[in-house]
Amino acid sequence: GTGKTLLAKAVAGEAKVPFYSISGSDFVEMYVGVGASRVRDLFKEAKENSPCIIFIDEIDAVGRHRGSGTGGGHDEREQTLNQMLVEMDGFEATTNVILIAATNRPDVLDPALLRPGRFDRQIQVETPDMKGRVRILEVHSKGKPLADDVDLAMIAKRTPGFSGADLANVLNEAALLTARGGQSVIDSTIIDEAIDRVIAGPQKRTRLMNDKERMVTAYHEGGHALVAAAMNDTDPVTKVTILPRGRALGYTMVMPSEDKYSTTRNELLDQLAYAMGGRVAEEIVFHDPTTGAANDIEKATGIARKMVTQYGMSDRVGMVKMGGGSSEPMGPAGSGRSDDANSDTTLTTIDAEVRALIDDAHADAYWALNENRDVLDTLAYELLEKETLDEAQLAEIFAPVVKRDPRSVWLASRDRPVSTRPPIEAPAARRVAEARAHEAAQAEAAQAAGQTGSAPEAAETPEAQEPPQWPGQSGPRTDEDGREPWA
């Protein structure tokens, strides 16, 4: 949904040349030789109608790493891939045929496809940033009647990580909800509901919980939100609801205030504590946890395992990338193991480190909820009363929350000395600090001059310097009425 196929079509439209679009799965057939024959026919027709563009969508269907299929080393897909490699080698400078392909699994492509002379230029089509989301929303909002309270910039701020297709879906859902409600314009309330639908699914109005389940759900979601508020490196909590939506009985929404492209270790640890918040709230209040935390435990385990096996954030395992990740191509067909499978001892160590991270997160959540039990009770009561709380209401409830102390320094090794030297100050921040210091000095000098009755000497600042001289001019340049145009 990031726009790979749309981008290829836009290239063809800008170039104003014939455009041949085909899916990778169209080449693969059960009959021997059909795929290779289609490749030859496609490239032959393209060369006859050059200049032109060939676009192969989802090329991983035919370009997967050879030797990883289920039919051995000579299946039809590999024959098709070999023919494609031969045709691409036949391109010359005068052929005037451009080949573009798209995939969301670049890790499984055969290396021969990616060598220079073939697909040697790889372009990452990521989800849009804040400015990109605003521009996409402007495109998809054309022709839709928006109320005055709808701010596209605020919608973009509330949808970090959304692809172009997700944003289009939000506005389409909003238009449908507006029509069903008999309204003539799309207002901000409907936009909020549309965003919730895209994130968590439609609201289950027929799923009626009894009083006990509503109470447990209120404390569960309140536990998530309160732990997030008590940690130091979590994203702001923007919404909490106990209305069933999708497969969930309720949900807590945390949204970053700006686009982020990396995550620190402390942020990951706080994410683990946030995931444990619902389960811990059930343990503290009811002493009888439910199955509602199953998805939270699954997510927390995934984060902890990545910290140990991929991010090098375990001092016992070390900064080593462990095999067996889902993003790696598997070994021979049916083996079920990656080429660099870990030993039993290493797997035991990894499991122990994952368990330790989960236990620490459980302890952090337990401390946060015990320390702020009054806030938890207030939050659960408000959820039972209002069912949904927005960011402003949550900020008022969280005002007395006691924050967790910052974690101790982590160095990946206990034997390394701790450096107390801070990082450098960013140039922009330094300029701001210098400007503020200069303003403070000027204000202090003016105050001192007022007390002594003498005027201070003008400081050497850009404002105190002489205005620029125009060529052939002896004094400041003025307009006809005597004013300085830059004043």
Is the alpha carbon torsion for 26, 76, 4, 14 positive or negative? negative
Q: Tell me phi and psi for residue 34, to 5 degrees.
A: -70, -45
- Alpha-carbon Rg of the chain, whole angstroms? 31
Q: What residues are paired with 52 via a beta bridge?
A: 97
From the list 76, 78, 87, 221, the catalytic residue is 221
Q: What residues are paired with 251 via a beta bridge?
A: 241
**Range 308-335 burial, b when 16+ CB lie within 10 A, else e:** bbeebbbeebeeeebeeeeeeebeeeee
Q: In the structure encoding, which two tokens stand for residue 247, read together?
A: 């497969």
CB 312 within 8 A of CB 319: yes
Closest CA to 226 of 76, 81, 370: 370
Residue 218, CB half-sphere, CA atoms under 13 Å: how many? Answer: 22
Q: What residues are paired with 239 via a beta bridge?
A: 253, 390
Rounded CA separation 404/366 (Å): 11
Query: Which amino acid belongs to residue 454?
Result: S
Q: Tell me phi and psi for residue 101, to 5 degrees.
A: -135, 155
CB 381 within 8 A of CB 375: no
Closest CA to 7 of 163, 140, 125, 169: 125
- Note if 460 is an active site residue: no
CB 205 within 8 A of CB 387: no
* Cβ count near 457 (within 10 Å): 9
What distance lies between CA 117 and its chain's CA centroid?
33
Cα 318 to Cα 238, 267, 309, 346, 408: the distances in Å are: 36, 19, 9, 11, 19
Closest CA to 284 of 224, 226, 241, 223: 223
Beta-carbon contacts of residue 141 (< 8 Å; ≥ 6 apart): 152, 171
Rounded CA separation 427/443 (Å): 24
* Cβ count near 50 (within 10 Å): 14
The residues assigned a catalytic role are 221
